Amino acid sequence: MMKKFLLILFLCSSTLIVQAQERFSSIDDLMEVLYASISGSAGEARDSSLITSIFLPEAKLMPIARNKEGKVIAKVLSVEQYISRLVKYTLNEGFFEREIHRETQRYGNIAQVFSTYASYKNKEDKAPYQRGINSLQLMFDGHRWWVMNITWDAESTGNPIPKQYLKK
C-alpha cells in the first residue's frame, strides 16, 4: 500500500514539474501567468501555489515607496509576504494588472524585463487607477524560466513613465 502511495505521489509531482516546465518555457508564458495569477475580483481567492511556482524560493519582491519622512525606500518582501499582502488587499478591492508594454534583454540563461503595467479595480474598467514599471530578473534553468526578483515603481506626477516604456 505504501509503495502505491509513493508511486502515485511521484507521478503527481512529476506531472506538476512537467506542466510547470511547459507552462514557463518562454518569457511570454511566464509573464502571462504572472499577471493572470495576481489579478481577480474583490474577495476572489488567488492561487498561492501557482504564484509561488513562478518564483525561485529565495525570490524577493520589492516595491519602491516613500517612508514617513519622504525618503525613497525599497520594501523587501518574500513571495509569502507578497501573497499575504495581496490577499489582504484583494479581500475588499478588485485588482487586475495588465501588461501594456515590455522590453526584454537576454543573455544566456538570464533576462532583464521592463514590463509596464496598468492596474484596475475591475476587469471592465477602461482607465487604470495606477500605472508603473515592473523590473524583473529572470533565470532559465534549461527547462523553464523563473522569476528571481521583481522591483516596481508606480507612476506619479513627479515620476511619469517615459514614452519609450509605453505601448507604441
Residue 23: partners with Cβ closer than 8 Å, 6 or more residues away: 29, 33, 144
Q: The whole model's pTM is what?
A: 0.84
CB atoms within 10 A of CB 2: 6
Q: Tens digits of per-residue pLDDT, 36-83? A: 999 999 999 999 999 999 999 999 999 999 999 999 999 999 999 999
Integer Cα distance of 89 and 121 in angstroms? 11
- Band (pLDDT 50/70/90 cuts) for residue 2 is low
Domains identified in the chain and CATH numbers: 2-165 (3.10.450.50)
- Report whether 114 contacts 165 (CB < 8 A): yes
Measured between alpha carbons, how far is residue 48 from residues 58, 62, 100, 123, 143 in Å? 16, 18, 24, 20, 22
